[in-house]
Structure 1
Amino acid sequence: MVLIELLKNFHHQVDRRRKTQIKTQWLMHPDLQSILQKIQYIKAKFKDHLLKEDDANEELDTVEDELNKLDQQRSKEQKRDLDAVFSNTKPLLRSTVLVL
């Protein structure tokens, strides 16, 4: 399946410097970190022959479903936040009071 091929080639597609930069300079939400860890765990089990390809694909499908649900949730939150901004019920920036 395509997902297995993506996992196999992931290491070769992104060099170590970029992966290190992403890990150290970009903050990752805990839910995304959890999904990444699950993918890495599945990849490791498959690589160590602890999972058959069909089982790995099943687990990856489950992770993909989780990611899709998270994406839908985030889209709803962003739309709600954007609606609040345009309806003037949510400030664009936090205001800072300067006392002279």
Structure 2
Amino acid sequence: MVAHLLARLQAILPDAQEVRIDPEDYSVTIGGKPFHEISVAGGLKIAVNVAALLSLQDLALKDADILVPPLLTIDAPLTGSAATAWTGTPAGA
């Protein structure tokens, strides 16, 4: 799973070199920093969440014993990113 997540992250964040998933609580660490310290909301949080979901899909394609829904729907990916509509304009700008 970690290799799939790193590959997906590197597609969005080429500087990402290390990803760790804690086996006890499944928390993610990127480049030695806990995910909750890297981003509260917005672009990076969205990118990491989407990369994680896509990496689960990748893993399921390689291992038939891993069951995930065959359809991944990402609804309103900009929610919480302080952007309005699809323009990328910061709220209140």
- Whether the TM-score (by the shorter chain) exceeds 0.5 is no
What is the TM-score when the length of structure 1 is the normalising length? 0.37
What is the TM-score when the length of structure 2 is the normalising length? 0.39
